[in-house]
Amino acid sequence: MITATDKIIRFNNLDKLKIAIGKDIKSRDVLAQRYCVRFIMLNNFNSFRDLTKFLAKDLSVKMFELQQLALGEDKTITIDMLSEAVKGITETSLITPFSELVRFYREADFNGFFNEIILTEDLKRPNKRIYIPIIGLNNRFNDFLKNFGRIQESAPIWQFYNAQDDKVKVFVSKFKTTLLPQSSEYCKLDTMKDWLNFWRQQAPKEKILCSAMPIRTGWRNSRPDSIFTFVEVTNVYEYITEFLGISIPFVYDEAESHFWEKLLQAISSTAPETFSWSIYTEKHFNTWEFSHKRILEIWADDQRTDYDRWILKNYLLHTNILDTAPYIRLCLEETIDYYNPAVFFVKIAERIFYAASMAEREKFAEERYNILHQNAKLFKTIVPKSNQEWIMEQLVSIAQNESNLNMAISLCSGTFDFEKELYIGWYQLRSDKDFGLSHLKEFYPDLYAYLSATDDSYYRPGAEWLYNYFKAYREAKIKDMYTDEIKSYIDTYNKNETAFWDWYYKHSTCHDLYHEIMTDFHHQPDKIYWIDGLGAEFIPFIQYLIENSHTNYEIIEVQVATTGLPSNTSLNRFEVNDKTLIKFGDLDALAHSDYYRARKTLIEELDTIRQVITTILKDNSVGNHTIAIVSDHGLTALSRLREPRKLSGKAHHEGRYIPYNADIAAASMPEYITVKNTDDNQDYKVALTHASLGRKPSHEAHGGCTPEEVLVPFIVLTNVDASKPIKYDIKPLKTDLPISAPIFECIINPQPKSAQMVVGNIKVDMVSTGTKWSGTIPNAVEGNFIVSVLPDKGKTQCMNITIYGMGMSDSLSDFD
């Protein structure tokens, strides 16, 4: 009985194989002419190419290339397609490449295919031969032959093996790039077409990198043989570093493989030899300078992907950019969520509270403060409210448990609104100990500017007490307390109708001031901004905002104006005919939108005013403009703290006034005054004190007669240089003056046309001798005084002086 071993005819010389093939093609043997398929077993591709040349040139054998059967460049050729192709060949042909296709068939398909074609007949063409090379499939093909039942009647099978097998290692990879390094030892085959062409056209290399889809899905069907060894490449990091030879300075994490694959796509667009991780990152973000601000902007950008943040993180951690930023480095190392940008910002804000020791907390405090403080808007927007509340709880706990506020203060940055609440609370409770105005100036400059008014020049003579009243009002608002100082002022200056009208009529209305300034060519405003609900209490804050706006705008006029009564919007509308009038209602809307909340409402008011002033300056950044800021009424936060009068009648605006019919007698009383408003011809009872006439207010209120309700700012600012006040340098010659000759002298540069000095309520025209200006203090007595010098078209500058006599009396002047 013939076995597989018996059936295979072995040659130790290729020429002898060629002779056998030549004889076989002319043979008249019945079996030779009946079955046309001839298998040639080889172990070397050089032998295959030599044999191919012999068949083509010497025997005129046609080449049947399997590539022509494929339905696409990266498509496989199925068993049925191959079988039909073999059976359809009509002339003597060599099928190539063959074993480089069938080795990837499953065992059943492999055996089924050979079963089907090995006894292929073509009785019409007895001399036709179909040569099929079997390269490197010795074991697998022999196994088939052992189980083939009709082996004794099949055509001859030839074998020629060289002394040394070809050795080919195929790295099967789902990853692919356009190019490999020029120095690479690998041959890259990306498609099935590349794979099939390779064996026909090139000498085999020892290492092949193949990403053809049919081979990726079928390589496991290929049993170990004498030539091929298959290795699957599943790690994209290995592909990038080993096959592309690119150095990446950070370790591979399997959980981040999708990021590495995107990186590979980027690498694929360039030559591997020229790829640089750092240069790629810099170009990707279009920047070469990664400041803390720029890093956070990139991380927070909604248009950025999780891949972008992954790149950024690893770039920063593996360059020297964060060498001086250990806290940011620590937070970045611990951030593994790249999809939600808030996670990194929360880490920066919270990580310090998990410090292992107080020393570690102190080590990171300054760096954390700087990055939060300098990027406050981002952190305030991105860090969720729940996380902000948690941070606040930690700060409160630290402040309560520590012997002083130093640590809690160092962990604040002025970023979040809750920090502003803490600042207000600490100032309220500990301003006389360890959190005074100097701390507010550093940590909450807006509140410091609100509280630290120093200029009383815009209060009219005889009403200078309002300067101290508003200082007391701001402190009372901070404490959310009706203080004795406020009560004393109201009991004195609003004790009755006469007292109220006395200071009220010392000031003009916004309309009157507007018409006055329109007669001054250099100070005429071309735009008027009406800020609803803006009281005189905010004048210092607005001055601070404009002076620190880094614009060319400068305030040229500040005065306190009165509203009409009642002090509500409908009766105090600001209207002009020939100028642009723009109204902001945000501040008034804030007062009416929610219950008054101690600390929080003031914070929101300051933020709202800052936003409004910023908008005004931004909208007028182009061109020359002179702008007037006016208001219709102010607001009081203190009516909530006083018991109401509960008078009869339908009270309006949280009880601040009551309309009544003229035929009903209504004399002024200590708690209200009676007025007739000329705009609506209506009579009103208007609250004279903070005690409302109806119910107790729950919001900030307006409509009554308290200074914060009826006094509003009239501010004019300009960026026109010709309209700005002249900047004078004023230096007093002496600050100690004898009572016998109380002459104040100073040097004013440049030389003004005229100058005045003000002491108390009295103005004195100064006289000049060259650059020296002088004036006599009127009604001089011993004591300390403030002299305000006002040069022509300049700003008032205040100086402290002392008048002394024989014995230096302790009595104080009325002007002290």
Model pTM score: 0.72
Q: Which residues face 189 on adjacent strands?
A: 210
Q: Are the beta carbons of 497 and 673 closer than 8 angstroms?
A: yes
* 3-state secondary structure at position 687: strand
Q: Are the beta carbons of 317 and 329 closer than 8 angstroms?
A: yes
- Nearest partner of 566 among 676, 670, 478, judged by Cα: 676
- Nearest partner of 692 among 679, 684, 701, judged by Cα: 701
| Res 807: pLDDT | 54
Q: In what order do the strands lie in the sheet with 157-160?
A: 8-11, 157-160, 37-42, 130-135, 93-96, 62-65
| Res 813: pLDDT | 42
| Res 344: pLDDT | 97
For the record, the structure tokens of 348 come out as: 């920066």
For the record, the structure tokens of 760 come out as: 């108390």
Q: Are the beta carbons of 312 and 285 closer than 8 angstroms?
A: yes
Mean pLDDT per 10-residue section of the chain, whose length is 816 residues: 76 93 88 88 88 94 89 88 91 91 90 89 90 89 85 85 84 88 86 85 77 91 82 91 90 92 88 88 91 95 95 95 95 96 97 90 94 94 96 92 81 91 91 86 92 76 89 94 96 95 93 87 87 95 94 92 89 81 93 88 95 96 94 95 86 86 64 87 92 91 95 94 86 93 94 89 88 92 89 85 71 41
Distance CA 561, CA 253 (A): 69
